[in-house]
Amino acid sequence: MARHGHGRRVLVTVALALLISLGVTAGRQGAIGTEPGTGPFPQGVVVVGDSITARYDDDPGSPEQGWWSFVGRHFDTEVRTFAQSGSGYQRPGHRCGGNRFIDRPEAFEGPAPSVFIVEGGRNDWATCRQGGLVESTDAAVQQAVNRYFDVVKRSLPRTTRIVVLGPPWGPLDPWQQRRITSIVHTAAKRHGLEYVATKGSLDRPGRTVDGVHPTLEGSKALGDVVIAALSNRPPR
């Protein structure tokens, strides 16, 4: 009897361990990244972005290692990502069934990060209408970008370095690249935010798998751009 009871206790223990493991996994789905370190950004980095962030991982040597992973490991700091494929400043992700950058208040929860990076804009050439995509207007994109930057500035303390990346853009749709990038750049300047141009990181041969999403080389190139920017003192 004692031996049988011990078996039940073992099964209960294993079941509890599995539940705890599942709980941790579920809790980390919205914010994945590197572990805390001792680099120059002790409060870590938060990234709000699209598939150029969301599709990638933090595994060194993996063909899917993300640009943000290179950044976090270079500076030995934690990176938390709040990203969704297909999303943008005004466009919901997941084929119009998801959310926009502004719909992620969880990105501002907890202790304020040392650095807050906005990576996106590539999807904002279009907007959702009746479950499909139509070309966005300049006015709609401008309104969405400015509104989100208002929220970012209001939600973060002055101690957080806010960085806006020019939309990382591959070789496709160069006209849309110029249009959306100009809107994001202008809005960042208007809000006094640090703007980092990314042109040249993904629009070269071998940098994307499909004209949009980075290869490992593309993610590293984009990471190098961000590393170079963060290595400099923020402009005043």
pLDDT in tens, 126-146: 999 998 999 999 999 999 999
Say how many residues make up the chain. Answer: 236
Question: Confidence band (pLDDT; 50, 70, 90) for 18?
Answer: very low
What is d(CA 186, CA 35) in angstroms, rounded to the nearest whole number? Answer: 34
Q: What is the domain count for the chain?
A: 2
Q: Are residues 22 and 46 in the same domain?
A: no
Model confidence, pTM: 0.85
Per-residue pLDDT of 80-89, as tens digits, reads 999 999 999 9
More confident site: 35 or 190: 190
Q: Are residues 124 and 143 in the same domain?
A: yes
Q: Are residues 134 and 40 in the same domain?
A: yes
pLDDT attached to residue 221: 99
CATH number of the domain to which 85 belongs: 3.40.50.1110
Q: Are residues 190 and 99 in the same domain?
A: yes
Q: Count CB neighbours of 204 within 10 A.
A: 13
How large a percentage of the chain has pLDDT more than 70?
83
Asked, for residue 236, whether it belongs to a domain, the answer is: no
Please count the CA atoms within 13 angstroms of the CA of 140 that sit on its side-chain side: 13
Cβ pair 71, 45 in contact under 8 A: yes
In the chain, helix, strand, coil percent, each to 5? 45, 15, 40
State which residues form the domain around 13: 1-29
pLDDT attached to residue 236: 61
**Would you state the structure tokens that stand for residue 203, as one six-digit string?**
């629009």
Cβ pair 168, 201 in contact under 8 A: yes
Please state the rounded mean pLDDT for residues 163-184. 98
Q: Are residues 14 and 116 in the same domain?
A: no
**Would you state the structure tokens that stand for residue 11, as one six-digit string?**
């099964």
Question: Confidence band (pLDDT; 50, 70, 90) for 22?
Answer: very low
End-to-end CA distance of the chain: 74
Query: Minimum mean pLDDT among 2-11, 90-99, 167-176, 207-216: which range?
Result: 2-11
Residue 51, SS3?
Answer: helix
Please count the CA atoms within 13 angstroms of the CA of 14 that sit on its side-chain side: 6
Per-residue pLDDT of 143-160, as tens digits, reads 999 999 999 999 999 999
Q: Are residues 97 and 17 in the same domain?
A: no
Q: Are residues 41 and 125 in the same domain?
A: yes
pLDDT attached to residue 32: 46
Per-residue pLDDT of 225-234, as tens digits, reads 999 999 998 7
Q: Are residues 64 and 8 in the same domain?
A: no
Please state the rounded mean pLDDT for residues 112-124. 99
Q: Are residues 211 and 108 in the same domain?
A: yes
Asked, for residue 174, whether it belongs to a domain, the answer is: yes
**Would you state the structure tokens that stand for residue 135, as one six-digit string?**
């070309």
pLDDT attached to residue 234: 76
Question: Confidence band (pLDDT; 50, 70, 90) for 27?
Answer: very low
Q: Are residues 129 and 211 in the same domain?
A: yes
Q: Are residues 8 and 118 in the same domain?
A: no
Asked, for residue 185, whether it belongs to a domain, the answer is: yes
What is d(CA 145, CA 90) in angstroms, rounded to the nearest whole number? Answer: 7
Q: Are residues 23 and 98 in the same domain?
A: no
Question: Confidence band (pLDDT; 50, 70, 90) for 2?
Answer: very low
